[in-house]
């Protein structure tokens, strides 16, 4: 006994309606999925575009404030010396140096960053530089990063730059907080210089250029 094949057009009317309803439902579902996917792409693009604009605005603001402070006569400019950084997060400090020595055409400057101390919101000490091991506060010197590399525990990190007379240079200190108890962490910023007229490094005598500055990192 042979079985007769039936096409859609040969199906009874009830089956035709069911097949048509299924096709319409599929098309509607497909359109909704495409619409949601397109909307998601738009929102993601908008989010990242907004984030880039915020970053760009922040950078421009930092640069403008550094230049304003240096133009006002500051030798070392730190427009924003306090940052809130969560564990596992990263942020930067902008720093500017103006060469007002008028000694030779240029001078080398050593910009040094070192952890000083950390304390809780109730002013209880977490750890400080004199501790032999800063592991109980996350080894803050190892959070520090400059173009010269990463800091190491109890030694910090530094940048050496040649700055022309009456000119200015801008620097970034990166900070990536890791394994830190909640509290305030203080980083010492020290700027010193030496006279390039003596070519022998052994005779270089680094001299304090400006007062000791402090950077404050709040870990929530």
Q: Inform me whether the pLDDT recorded for 139 exceeds 50.
A: yes
Q: Determine the pLDDT at residue 54.
A: 41
Q: What is the mean pLDDT of the chain?
A: 79
Q: Determine the pLDDT at residue 180.
A: 94
Q: Determine the pLDDT at residue 191.
A: 95
- DSSP collapsed to 3 states, the chain: CCCCCCCHHHCCHHHHHHHHHHHHHHHHHHHHHHHHHHHHHHHHHHHHHHHHHHHHHHHHHHHHHHHHHHHCCCCEECCCCEEECCCCCEEEEEEEEECCCCCCCEEEEEEEEEEEEEECCCCCEEEECCCCCCHHHCCHHHHEEECCEECECCCEEEEEEEEECCCEEEEEEEEECCCCCCEEEEEEEEEEEEECCCCCHHHCCCEECCCCEEEEEEEC
Q: Inform me whether the pLDDT recorded for 207 exceeds 90.
A: no
| Percent of the residues in the chain that have a pLDDT greater than 70, as a whole number | 71
Q: Determine the pLDDT at residue 165.
A: 92
Confidence of residue 212 (pLDDT cuts 50, 70, 90): very high
pLDDT digits (tens, 9 = 90+) for 185-202: 999 999 999 865 555 555
Q: Determine the pLDDT at residue 198.
A: 59
Q: Determine the pLDDT at residue 171.
A: 85
Minimum mean pLDDT range among 10-19, 74-83, 124-133, 200-209: 10-19
Confidence of residue 17 (pLDDT cuts 50, 70, 90): low
Confidence of residue 172 (pLDDT cuts 50, 70, 90): confident
pLDDT digits (tens, 9 = 90+) for 58-110: 577 778 888 888 888 899 999 999 999 999 999 989 999 999 999 888 888 99
Q: Inform me whether the pLDDT recorded for 29 exceeds 80.
A: no
Assessment of whether the complete model's pTM goes beyond 0.85: no
Q: Inform me whether the pLDDT recorded for 37 exceeds 80.
A: no
């Amino acid at each position: 006994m042979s079985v007769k094949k039936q096409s859609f057009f040969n199906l009874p009317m009830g089956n035709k309606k069911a097949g048509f309803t299924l096709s319409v439902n599929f098309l509607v579902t497909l359109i909704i999925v495409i619409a949601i996917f397109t909307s998601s792409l738009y929102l993601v693009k908008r989010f990242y575009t907004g984030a880039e604009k915020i970053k760009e605005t922040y950078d421009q603001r930092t640069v403008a404030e550094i230049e304003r402070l240096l133009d006002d006569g500051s030798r070392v400019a730190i427009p924003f010396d306090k940052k809130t950084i969560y564990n596992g997060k990263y942020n930067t400090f902008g720093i500017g140096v103006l060469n007002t020595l008028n000694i030779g055409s240029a001078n080398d400057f050593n910009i040094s960053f070192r952890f000083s101390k950390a304390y809780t919101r109730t002013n209880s000490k977490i750890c400080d530089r004199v501790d032999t091991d800063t592991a109980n506060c996350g080894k803050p010197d190892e959070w520090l990063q400059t173009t010269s590399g990463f800091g190491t525990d109890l030694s910090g990190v530094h940048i050496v730059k040649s700055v022309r007379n009456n000119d200015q240079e801008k620097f970034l200190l990166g900070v990536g907080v890791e394994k830190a108890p909640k509290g305030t962490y203080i980083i010492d910023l020290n700027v010193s210089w030496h006279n390039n007229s003596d070519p022998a490094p052994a005779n270089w005598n680094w001299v304090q250029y400006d007062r000791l500055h402090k950077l404050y990192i709040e870990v929530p």
